[in-house]
Amino acid sequence: MNTKERRELLLSILNKSTNPIKGDELANILNVSRQVIVQDIALIRATGVDIIATPQGYVIYNTKMSSKVIECRNHTDEDEFYNELKTIVDLGGKVKDVIVKHPIYGEIKVDLDIASNRDIDKFMKKASSDEFKQLSTLTKNSHFHTIEAKSEEILDEIISSLLDKNILANNSKK
């Protein structure tokens, strides 16, 4: 397979995937080094394709997805934290990021890209370590998430469930 064919196949793999794919995994599939994948991604990006690097791997930004920013109450324990993520994912949503508004530093945003129970489990395992501090602990107020789903109807169902579980701050959506 030549370079052009490899990049076309790489783009096809990313287009078909609904979840991020790690560079090492792409390298194994295409039988090249991870560095070659990094170079190919850079060249594909230069053509205008919006490929995003997340902690879970590479993903093509899908403009067909519906998204909303929701404001959530800060968690009092890990169970509430887990329940918030699980509610969103179980109903077909993806937690794109977490945003806090700090009185001095302003808005702090971190990409999460949590789209499956496996992602939640990995994240919660990291979150249970002693070195981990939730961003929401930087403020006494609420935090925000950008959530994505395949349709507005799914987003509405997620928001309704979060409201029912008293997860949303002030029981409202932004």
CATH code for position 53:
1.10.10.10
Output the domain CATH number for residue 123.
3.30.1340.20
Q: Measured between alpha carbons, how far is 34 from 10 in angstroms, rounded to an integer?
A: 12
Is 5 within any annotated ligand binding site?
A: no
Range of the domain at 16: 3-60
In what helix (H) or strand (E) does residue 17 lie, and over which residues does it extend?
Answer: none
102 annotated ligand-binding residue: no
The percent of residues in the chain predicted with pLDDT above 70, rounded, is 90
Q: Are residues 97 and 158 in the same domain?
A: yes
Amino acid at 160: S
Stated pTM of the model: 0.62
Segment 98-122 mean pLDDT: 90
Q: Is 84 annotated as a binding residue?
A: yes
Give the pLDDT of residue 174: 45
